[in-house]
């Protein structure tokens, strides 16, 4: 399938078909519309419980996309109390597992809001980010100077908030981060859960189909990736469960019927995580 990504007026052909990175199986993709008038090309590897893009966007397209997003003026990039509050909530999750402040690395730090929250919470925190536009936002909004590369030192905690799905080689990066953790150090990852009721109900309109989401993980496939990267334990935190809105039973009965069918179906197929759209996982070195 021939595809060309058009980002901010520039064209980027897709020339990189890939197989499943966990088992090497070649799976047939299908085009799915994404936000901002763009396309994804998603294949599923049923045995590995992993979905991924093939052919995937080029490295140049990924950089252009992220710089375009971070230089835009929409809610994704603006500073707001809701973003600061969400960052503090993430820090609460970190501290529920690793209470004592220590050395923390936020990998893929974006605008730096979580680094700012961690510094304010007493952590010795640094962030790594590759988007030039995001680095500029971090300095402007939060007074945070982000690194372009991982510092050559070890950390007690490493966080990846909505990052692992963007990586071109997740296992290689996870290995690199594993080697940057202290003995007993902890990695936190937040990413979309492919096995959830919202995707079943929304189908191709699922909100997490985005041009630069290269992978769509499930708990099983993400655990496989972290284990291969050298981590000794893995668990999905018992947070962020959701259910369809009860109010819509009266206001939108057809929607509610589809939503509740998807909800109960997902919980039956995937006990414990079928009602989690975005999962928060913890892996220990």
Pair of tokens at residue 61:
């397209």
Torsion sign, CA atoms 207, 25, 280, 139: negative
> Residue 1 CB: number of other CB atoms within 10 A?
11
Q: How many CB atoms lie within 10 A of CB 154?
A: 15
**Is 70 exceeded by the pLDDT of residue 77?**
no
**Residue 24: what pLDDT?**
97
Whether 196 has a pLDDT exceeding 60, the answer reads yes
Question: In the predicted model, is pLDDT for residue 1 greater than 70?
Answer: no
85 token code pair: 């509050």
Q: What mean pLDDT, rounded, does the chain reach?
A: 94
**Entry field: residues in the chain:** 285
What confidence score (pLDDT) does residue 243 get?
A: 96
Q: What is the pLDDT of residues 9-36, one digit of tens each?
A: 999 999 999 999 999 999 999 999 998 8
pLDDT at 210: 96
Whole-structure pTM value? 0.94
pLDDT at 233 over 90: yes
Q: Cα dist. 48→40, 237, 261 in Å? A: 20, 21, 25
Q: Are 260 and 244 in contact (CB under 8 A)?
A: yes
Cβ pair 260, 248 in contact under 8 A: no
């Amino acid at each position: 399938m021939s595809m060309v990504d058009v980002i901010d007026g520039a064209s980027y052909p897709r020339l990189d078909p890939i197989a499943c990175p966990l088992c090497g199986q070649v799976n047939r993709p299908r085009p799915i519309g994404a936000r901002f008038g763009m396309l994804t090309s998603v294949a599923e590897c049923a045995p590995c419980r992993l979905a991924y893009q093939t052919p995937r966007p080029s490295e140049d397209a990924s950089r252009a996309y992220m710089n375009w997003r971070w230089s835009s003026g929409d809610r994704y990039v603006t500073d707001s109390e809701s973003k600061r509050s969400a960052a503090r909530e993430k820090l609460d999750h970190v501290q529920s597992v690793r209470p004592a402040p220590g050395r923390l690395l936020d990998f893929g730090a974006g605008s730096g809001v979580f680094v700012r929250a961690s510094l304010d919470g007493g952590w010795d925190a640094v962030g790594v980010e590759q988007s030039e536009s995001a680095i500029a936002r971090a300095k402007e909004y939060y007074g945070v100077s982000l690194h372009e590369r991982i510092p050559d030192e070890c950390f007690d905690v490493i966080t990846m908030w909505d990052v692992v799905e963007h990586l071109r080689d997740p296992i290689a990066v996870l290995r690199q981060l594993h080697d940057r953790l202290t003995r007993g150090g902890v990695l936190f990852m937040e990413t979309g859960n492919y096995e959830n009721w919202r995707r079943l109900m929304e189908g191709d309109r699922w909100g997490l189909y985005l041009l630069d989401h290269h992978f769509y993980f499930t708990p099983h496939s993400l655990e496989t990736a972290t284990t291969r990267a050298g981590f000794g334990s893995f668990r999905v935190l018992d947070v962020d469960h959701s259910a369809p809105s009860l109010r819509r039973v009266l206001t939108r009965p057809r929607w509610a019927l589809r939503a509740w069918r998807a909800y109960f179906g997902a919980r039956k197929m995937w006990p414990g995580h079928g009602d989690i759209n975005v999962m928060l996982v913890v892996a220990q070195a």
